[in-house]
Structure 1
Amino acid sequence: MSGGVNLHDLARLGAEARANLLKRSEADLGSFLERVKPIIAAVKEEGDVALARFANEFDKSPVKPGEIAATRADFDAAFKAVEPEVIAAIEFAVENIRKFHSDQKPEEMWLHEMRPGAFAGDRFRPIPSVACYVPRGKGSFPSVVMMTTIPAVVAGVKDICVVTPPGPDGKIDAATLVAARLAGVDKVFKCGGAQGVAAAAYGTQTVPKCAKIVGPGSPFVVAAKRLLADVIDPGIPAGPSESIIFADETVDGRLAALDLLVEAEHGPDSSAYLVTPSAKVAEEAIKALPDYWARMSEQRVAFSSAVLKGPRGGVVLTPDVDAAMAFINDYAPEHLEILSDEPFAYLGRIENAGEVLLGKHTPVTLGNFVLGPNAVLPTSRAAMTHSPLSVFDFMKRISVGYVTSVGYPTLAKHARVLATYEGFDAHANAVSEIRDRLLKH
C-alpha cells in the first residue's frame, strides 16, 4: 500500500518508536556546533574578509570584501529583473502582512488603577536593531523577507537589515531585494549560514552589530544562534520546515496528499506527516503522491520523497481521533493544517502548534505567502513554549507604576510587612515612618 512512503500504524508502535517520530533534524546539533565554531571566530576576527572567503567557499559565490552590501543600483536592477506578476504578488502579500501586524501591535502604553490611587501598566518600545536572516540554498525566499522585516518596520525598529547567502553569480536574489524595498528596508548583506549570524552578532566593517536576529535557517544557522546566544538575541527557534496535515474521514485523501508535499519539498532535513484516523484517507493519499511528483521538478521530488520515505515523514495512521490529537500535541508542529468538513470542531483540542490552518481552502501555501499571519514559526517542538514571530518580537515592555498620596498608605503597609519578613531593612525603611516624615516637609 505504501509504495515506499512511510506508513506508521500508531496502534502498533511501542513507546520508543513513537518517540522517534517526534524527532527533528536539528535534534542533535553536536557536530554542527563544532563545525561552526571556527567560522564564528573567523568572522569576529576578520570581518568582511571572512564573509567574502566563506561566500566563495560555501556558496561558490565570487564575493569580494568590498561587495558585501547591496547597492541602490542592485535594488533598481532587481525591479527590472523580476516579472511584474511576481512584484504584484509581493505587493499583495506585503499589504496583508502589514495589516495583520499593524492590527497586532499594542498601544504604546496601558495604565490601570490596581487600587484606589495606585496605577500600574506597560509601555511598549521597539528594540534598537535586528538582522533578518533569509535562507537561499534550497530556493529563493522573498516571503521570508516580508515575514521578518514587516513586523519589525511596524514595531518601529530603527535599524533593520537582511542577511542572506549570495548566489553563484555573486548577487543577492532579485526578488529578495524587491521584497525588502517594498517592506521598507534598504540594508541587505551577502552573508548566509553561520557566518551571517556571526556578522550580525559582532558586526563587521559593513554589517552592523545587531541586538537580535530572526528568521529560519539550516542546522548550521541554528547552531550558530545557539553558540552566540550570549552575544545576540537568537529569536524564536526556527530550523528546517515541518508540518502535520490532519485529515478526518470527511476528507478526500488526494487533497491531504497534495498539502502533505508543501513543507516536505523544502529539503531533505524537513519533517512532514499526514496524521489520520482513517485507513481510507491514508491509502488514498499514498496512492495520489506519484501523480503529484510527476508535476514537480526533479529537485523538489528528491527533497519531498526523501522526507516521506525517511525518518521524519510519512503517513501516521491513528486508532482514533483522540490518539491523533495526542500525537499532534506531543509533536507540536511548526505548521498544522486541519482538513475536515468541520475543522473548528478540532481547534479547541490543539494545545501545541506554531499555526493552525483550518479547512480545505486554507492550505499551508496561503499561510506561507499571503494570508497575513507570520510564517516564521517555532520548530523542533518549541511551539510548546514559543509563539510565531510577531510584532512583539521586535518590541520590549517597560513596566510603569504610579502611586498617589491616596494610594500610598495601603500599599506601604503591606509592602513593609513583606520586606520585614524577608529581612530587607532598607526596603522596609523606604515605606516606614521615615518616609512619612520626609513627605510632610
Structure 2
Amino acid sequence: MKILKVSEQISIKRSIEAGTTEQVAIVKGIIQEIRTRGDEALREYTEKFDRVNLSSFCVTKGEIETAYQKIDEGFVSIVREAAENIRSFHEKQLRPSWMTTEENGTILGQKITALDSVGVYVPGGTAAYPSSVLMNVIPAKVAGVTRIVMVSPPDSEGNLPPAVLVAAKEAGVEEIYKVGGAQAIAALAYGTESIASVDKITGPGNIFVALAKREVFGDVDIDMIAGPSEIAILADETARADEIAADLLSQAEHDPRACSVLVTPSMSLAEEVTEEVEKQLALLPRKEIAARSIAEYGAIYVTADMDEAVETVNQLAPEHLEVMTENAMELLGKIRHAGAIFIGRYSSEPVGDYFAGPNHVLPTNGTARFSSPLNVDDFQKKSSVIVYSKKALTENAAKIAEFARMEGLEAHARAVEIRLENDKK
C-alpha cells in the first residue's frame, strides 16, 4: 500500500457515478419504454439482459417454500437473529407526532406519517445479498410502511437466490418480482400491468440502476446514489497490523473501486500493515479485485500525532470508520464525519454489515459530511399542523398582513383581514 504524508492530497472521493453519454441514453430509453409499453417492454428487457423469458414476474409462495428447503436451518436461524437485532435498533429511532398549545388557543405540531409504499432493489448476478434485504426492508417495516415491494434480477432459470427469498420472508415482504436493472426501477416508479408504482425506491445496484434512480427522482423519492464501498481505520501503535490488514481487505474485495485507508501517527505500524496486506492478499479468493482496489485506491496516511490523525479522518468523511487506538471511546466525541463508527478491535466492520443492528446502507464518497445512514426517518414524512384561534389571529393579523404586503402579495394580506372584518359584521 502507498504510505503518504498528510501534506499530500487527502481524499476518498472517486468520480461521481454520472455514467457515460451512451449509458444515460440507454437508461432514458428503457424508462420511456416501460412507461409506454409496461409489462411487454419489461418482459423484453428481462429476456435481453437476464436471458430468461418469464410468463409471470411475481414470486410465488411455492418458490419461497422451496427456498427454505434449500437453505440450511442454521443459516435461517442466523437470519432471524440478525433481523431481530436490526429491528430492535431501528425501533429506537421512532419518533411520535407532537402538539403544543399556547395560552391564546394556538395549536402547533408535527404529524409523522409512514410512506404508503416502498420499492426495494436487491442486486443479483453471481452473488446473493440477503443482508441488503434486511437492511432496506426492516426500517421501512418499523416506520409503518404497509406495502413493501422487492425486485431483483432472476438467473437464467428464472429464479432468485434462495437466501434472498428467505431473508425477504423473514423481513415480512409479501410482494416480490423477478425483474432487475433500469427496467425494474422504471416499473417501481411508474408502474406496469403487473407491478403497481411505489412512493420511494431504496437499495444498491450497478451503474444502470444508479442512473435510473437518478432519472426517476422527483417522480418518486430515492435513498441515495451510493458509490463504491470505503473504509478508514484510525489506529495507533497498540493496534495489531494483521487485524488492520484484514479489515482493509474486507472492503477491497467488494469492488476494484473500493477505497481502503489507514490513518496513523505510527510509521512502524504503517510499514507492518503494508507487509500484512500483501501477505493476506495472496490468500483471498477475490484477490484480483482486492489487489486492484488496494493499488488504485488504497493508502496509509502517516500523521504527526493523533490530533492530526483525527482531523484527517474528518476530512475523509468515510463510509465506515474503525477506531483501533488505546482508549478508543475517548476519541468518539472528536469524530464529526463518518457513516458508521466502529470502536475497538472487536468491532470489525463486518459486524455492522450483517449482524449488530445499525443499518449498513451508508453515505459514501465523502457525503458523510452532510448525510446519514438509512434509517426509519427515510420511510416517513412529516406534516406541520397549525390551528389558530380567533384570539390568536386577532393578535397577529396586522403583523401577518404587513409581512404579506412587504412581499407584494395583497391577496395574502386580505385573506387574513377578511376574517376579522366578517367577525365585526
TM-score (norm 2): 0.92
Alignment of 1:146-157 (within 5 A): 146-157=134-145
1:206 aligns to 2:191 (yes or no): no
1:314 aligns to 2:299 (yes or no): yes
1:358 aligns to 2:313 (yes or no): no
2:2 matched residue in structure 1? 6
110-119 or 77-86, which deviates more: 110-119
1:112 aligns to 2:100 (yes or no): yes
Which of 56, 61, 83 aligns to 1:67? It is: 56
| Pairwise CA distance, 1:116 | 4.5
1:58 matched residue in structure 2? 49
| Pairwise CA distance, 1:201 | 1.6
Superposition CA RMSD, Å: 2.3
Aligned length: 424
270-279 or 96-105, which deviates more: 270-279
State percent identity of aligned pairs: 36
| Pairwise CA distance, 1:295 | 4.6
1:381 aligns to 2:366 (yes or no): yes
SS in 1 for 2:45: helix
Q: 1:340 to 1:169 in 2, by over 3 A?
A: farther
1:282 matched residue in structure 2? 270
| Alpha-carbon distance in 1 for matches of 2:17, 2:161 | 30
301-310 or 268-277, which deviates more: 268-277
Which residue identity lines up with residue 85 of structure 1 in the other structure?
Answer: G
| Pairwise CA distance, 1:160 | 0.8
Q: 1:316 to 1:189 in 2, by over 3 A?
A: farther
Which residue identity lines up with residue 276 of structure 1 in the other structure?
Answer: T
1:99 matched residue in structure 2? 88
1:249 aligns to 2:237 (yes or no): yes
Deviations 1:137-183 (A, max 9, x none): 35211111011111111112122111112224321111111111111
1:301 aligns to 2:287 (yes or no): yes
TM-score (norm 1): 0.89
Question: For the Cα contact (< 8 Å) 2:54–2:158, is it kept in 1?
Answer: no
Which of 225, 231, 237 aligns to 2:219? It is: 231
| Pairwise CA distance, 1:240 | 2.5
Which of 381, 392, 395 aligns to 1:396? It is: 381
Q: 1:326 to 1:223 in 2, by over 3 A?
A: farther
Q: 1:237 to 1:346 in 2, by over 3 A?
A: farther
Which of 4, 10, 13 aligns to 1:23? It is: 13
Question: For the Cα contact (< 8 Å) 2:67–2:162, is it kept in 1?
Answer: yes
Which residue identity lines up with residue 103 of structure 1 in the other structure?
Answer: K
| Alpha-carbon distance in 2 for matches of 1:315, 1:115 | 61
| Pairwise CA distance, 1:216 | 1.8
Alignment of 1:68-147 (within 5 A): 68-107=57-96, 109-113=97-101, 116-137=104-125, 139-147=127-135
Which of 163, 169, 186 aligns to 2:174? It is: 186
Which residue identity lines up with residue 363 of structure 2 in the other structure?
Answer: P
Deviations 1:176-199 (A, max 9, x none): 111111111121122222222122
| Pairwise CA distance, 1:222 | 1.4
| Alpha-carbon distance in 2 for matches of 1:165, 1:301 | 26
Question: For the Cα contact (< 8 Å) 2:121–2:205, is it kept in 1?
Answer: yes
| Pairwise CA distance, 1:351 | 2.2
Q: 1:319 to 1:181 in 2, by over 3 A?
A: same
The list of structure 1 runs, each at least 4 consecutive aligned residues, that deviate by more than 4 angstroms after superposition, is none
Question: For the Cα contact (< 8 Å) 2:6–2:312, is it kept in 1?
Answer: no
371-380 or 224-233, which deviates more: 224-233
| Pairwise CA distance, 1:304 | 1.5
Question: For the Cα contact (< 8 Å) 1:10–1:318, is it kept in 2?
Answer: yes
SS in 2 for 1:274: strand
Which residue identity lines up with residue 85 of structure 2 in the other structure?
Answer: N
| Pairwise CA distance, 1:77 | 0.7
Unaligned runs of 5+ in 1: none
| Alpha-carbon distance in 2 for matches of 1:39, 1:319 | 53
| Pairwise CA distance, 1:366 | 1.2
Which residue identity lines up with residue 112 of structure 1 in the other structure?
Answer: T
| Alpha-carbon distance in 2 for matches of 1:348, 1:116 | 42
| Alpha-carbon distance in 1 for matches of 2:58, 2:381 | 29
1:408 aligns to 2:393 (yes or no): yes
Q: 1:436 to 1:44 in 2, by over 3 A?
A: closer
Question: For the Cα contact (< 8 Å) 2:12–2:318, is it kept in 1?
Answer: no
Question: For the Cα contact (< 8 Å) 2:323–2:344, is it kept in 1?
Answer: yes
Question: For the Cα contact (< 8 Å) 1:253–1:280, is it kept in 2?
Answer: no
69-78 or 334-343, which deviates more: 334-343
| Alpha-carbon distance in 1 for matches of 2:347, 2:162 | 28
